[in-house]
Amino acid sequence: MQKIKYDKKESICACKVSLDILGDKWSLIIVRDIFREKSTFSEFLYESDEGISSNILVDRLKKLISLEIIDFIREPEDKKIKRYYLTDRGIDLYGVIYELQLWTINNVDFKYSPNTSKWKNFSSLNSKEQVISHYQNTYRKLRLKRFNH
């Protein structure tokens, strides 16, 4: 897998580069949702609490595909339906999602969703490495089963 090409010529901070590539909330929400077993346009549009608009969803799916963070296969029964999945590059983003969630839990007072409560409980019983490995490996098994990748 080749690295993503970043066209800026001047020296630049790695944090800024990653924010330029993934810095909008929707890209990481889509990646998070794929970890949560959503895979179709309709699932992203109607089954996520955040309420992404269809035009932004189309744009972010195209962007994530172009960055080789996600890919898709077409449903055999209905070729109009695309099922999106994380590539290895996308699976590697779980560490970023872990750190964002942990920082939020430790620093922000908010009402936890059921998923956040479940994640917090699991994370409190396991090391960072175990949590990241668990979510990455669980997704890899799902991807192999559902997408043969």
In the chain the domains, ranked by start, together with CATH numbers, are 14-147 (1.10.10.10)
Given a contact cutoff of 8 angstroms between Cβ atoms, the answer to whether 136 and 94 are in contact is yes
pLDDT at 13 over 90: no
Q: What is the CA radius of gyration of the chain?
A: 16
Could you report the per-residue pLDDT of 57-106, keeping only the tens digit for each? Answer: 999 999 999 999 999 999 888 989 999 999 999 999 999 999 999 999 99
Q: What is the pLDDT of residue 60?
A: 95
Q: Which residue is listed with tokens 């942990």?
A: 102
Q: How far is CA 135 from CA 5, 82, 109, 128, 146, in A?
A: 27, 23, 25, 11, 16
User: pLDDT at position 135, please?
Assistant: 96
Q: Is 48 helix (H, G, I), strand (E, B) or coil?
A: coil
Q: H or E element: which one contains 72?
A: strand 70-74
Q: Which of 2-11, 58-67, 107-116, 134-143 has the lowest mean pLDDT?
A: 2-11
Tell whether the model's pLDDT for residue 23 goes beyond 90. Answer: no
- In angstroms, the CA 98 to CA 106 distance is 12
pLDDT at 34: 96
Residue 40 has a pLDDT of 96
How deeply is 134 buried, as exposed, middle or buried, from its count of CB atoms within 10 A (0-12, 13-18, 19+)? middle
What distance in Å separates the CA atoms of residue 105 and residue 69, rounded to the nearest whole number? 26
pTM over the 0.85 mark? yes
Q: Residue 69: what pLDDT?
A: 95
Structure-model confidence comparison of residues 96 and 10, the more confident one? 96
Q: What's the CA gap between 50 and 61, in Å, rounded?
A: 16
pLDDT of residue 3: 80
Residues 6+ away with beta carbon under 8 Å from 72: 65, 82, 83, 84, 85
Determine the Cα–Cα distance for residues 64 and 59; give it in Å rounded to an integer.
Answer: 9
Assign 148 a pLDDT band (cuts: 50, 70, 90).
confident
8 vs 113 pLDDT, higher one: 113
* Confidence band, pLDDT 50/70/90 cuts, at residue 24: confident
